[in-house]
Amino acid sequence: MKKLIVPISCIFATLHVDAAPTIQIENIATKGNPIVIVNGYKIRYMDYPKIKPEHIESIIELEPKDAIEIFGSQGENGAIVIKLIPQIKPFTSERAKIDEQIIEKVASYAEKAKEREAERMAYDIEQERLKNIEKARLEEEEARRIQNEEPLLLENEVAVADTNQNRQQEQELNLQNEAELEKEAEAERKRLEAEEKARKEAEAEKNRLEREAELAKAEAERKRIEAEEKARKEAEAEKNRLEREAELAKAEAERKRLEAEEKAIKEAEAEKKRLEREAELAKVEAERKRLEAEEKARKEAEAEKKRLEREAELAKVEAERKRLEAEEKARKEAEAEKKRLEREAELAKAEAERKRIEAEEKARKEAEAEKKRLEREAELAKAEAERKRLEAEEKAKLDAEAEKQRLEKEAELAKAEAEKLEKDASKDFINKLEQDFKNSINNSKIKKVLVEGKEVSKSEALKLSIFDVETSIITFDKVNGDGTLEIKLTKK
């Protein structure tokens, strides 16, 4: 499944009428082309260009692999699923109705493909951002290492020079103190190295904790967003399902009510006819006793009729009551399910937010504890470390802002590129229609060209634009094979 688009289709239709059988025309028209579904009906691909763009409400294009999964071998060349605006009568040229569940599956595939594409783009952007952050961090650490090593080298050189000078003077003054001075110098050097090592380890540990805190915060935010999106989609899907089930239940209850009413009416009519036949037979049989039994038979017939009418009325009232109860029950169940899903979504959102806050609080406390420990251990280097930390934060902020601006520019460029590609695709499609129209005019089998019923030369017909043409029909003489192209112009 590639994309969900509303394309610019052709503005005129071309119909070829030939002497070949219909089945051969369909095979030629559909070979190598995707199947076309319009308002749930499969049509021939050769009828696809007849659809005007202003009649299309939406269109979904499926790649072959997705079309095969939905339609089987019929979708080996892809599929195009079109929905027309309500005012337009749908195509039913092949009378091949597609199951509604398959059409819903097509829409579901399109939505999932769109989500996968958005997730992939978001993942690529996030990976690129993390790479840039890591690259900046490594460059900063390298610069910091070089900056820290330079004064140490200078200090060591000065210390060595001083030590050598002192040693030379001490050798001249007192050879006995040489061993003691060398020992003190070595102890001082080791102390400086130990301090430098402790400072570097403290700074590395601090950087590591800061990175872990940032990663934990980003991961918690990502999970929270995923949970919210998942809950929203599930709630929306459940809502749609419940609405469809409620509509089906309502339709079923209405159907049963109508059937019950029809059945009650038929039974009442049958009973009435039966009573009329029995009354007629009784009249023939009892003609002799007509004066005695006429009043009694009339009263019995009226009483029976009233009883049947009352029973029919009660049956109608009972059917209406059951229908209303079914509708009310379905509505309450749908509302209860909707409220339950909303509560679950709110709870999931609250839980994700709580976990995110706990993770942030934990990371903050750990960072503060580590910061205090490091401050106690490296009190002498506190001022320098604080200055470098502020510089690093400012640089990271500037880098993040620059990265944000770069991503926004890239998004704008990608959007512009997508619009350009869509326009180019539309332009290529119109150019192809223009070329097909000219090829039909230049066809060597076409011997006559009629525009609005008037014969014109091919050169004059080639001056027409496809935007001026509403329909073009080619007919061929079955005897000599000569063709005639009839062109009808748009009414502008």
Q: Is the pLDDT of residue 128 over 70?
A: yes
Per-residue pLDDT band at 90 (split at 50, 70, 90): low
- Residue 26 predicted with pLDDT over 60: no
The pLDDT of residue 151: 66
Percent of the chain with pLDDT strictly greater than 70? 89
The stretch 475-482 carries a mean pLDDT of: 83
In whole angstroms, what is the distance from residue 435 CA to residue 432 CA? 5
Summarize pLDDT for 227-249 with one digit per residue, the tens.
888 888 888 888 889 888 888 98
Q: Rounded to whole angstroms, how far apart are CA atoms 99 and 71?
A: 11
333, 334, 395 from 342: Cα distances, Å: 14, 12, 43
Q: What is the DSSP annotation of 319-365? A: HHHHHHHHHHHHHHHHHHHHHHHHHHHHHHHHHHHHHHHHHHHHHHH
Residue 340 has pLDDT above 70, yes or no: yes
pLDDT of the residue at 328: 92
Confidence of residue 445 (pLDDT cuts 50, 70, 90): confident
Query: Range with the lowest mean pLDDT among 97-106, 231-240, 292-301, 394-403?
Result: 97-106
Task: Enter the pTM of the model.
Answer: 0.25
CA distance 38 to 83: 6
Residue 460 has pLDDT above 60, yes or no: yes
What is the SS3 string spanning 145-183? HHHHHHHHHHHHHHHHHHHHHHHHHHHHHCHHHHHHHHH
From 467, 472, 468, 466, select the one nearest 487 (Cα to Cα).
Answer: 472
The residue with greater pLDDT, 282 or 120, is 120
Averaged pLDDT of the chain: 82
- What digits encode the pLDDT tens for the residues 162-198? 777 777 777 777 777 776 777 787 888 888 888 888 8
Instruction: Give residue-wise pLDDT tens across range 129-158.
Output: 898 998 888 988 888 888 777 666 666 666
Structure-token pair, residue 288: 């002799």
pLDDT value, residue 200: 86
Average pLDDT over residues 6-30: 34
- Look at residue 155 in the predicted model and tell me its pLDDT: 67
Instruction: Assess whether pLDDT exceeds 90 at residue 357.
Output: yes
Residue 274's alpha-carbon distances to 121, 220, 260, 281, 305, in angstroms, are 77, 79, 21, 11, 11
- In one-letter notation, the amino acid at residue 151 is P
**Better-predicted residue by pLDDT, 103 or 269:** 269
Q: What are phi and psi of 150, to 5 degrees?
A: -60, -50
Decide if pLDDT at 17 tops 60.
no
SS3 for 9?
coil
Q: Is the pLDDT of residue 11 over 50?
A: no
pLDDT value, residue 91: 56
By DSSP bridging, strand 13-17 and strand 469-476 are parallel
The share of the chain scoring above pLDDT 90, in percent, equals 12
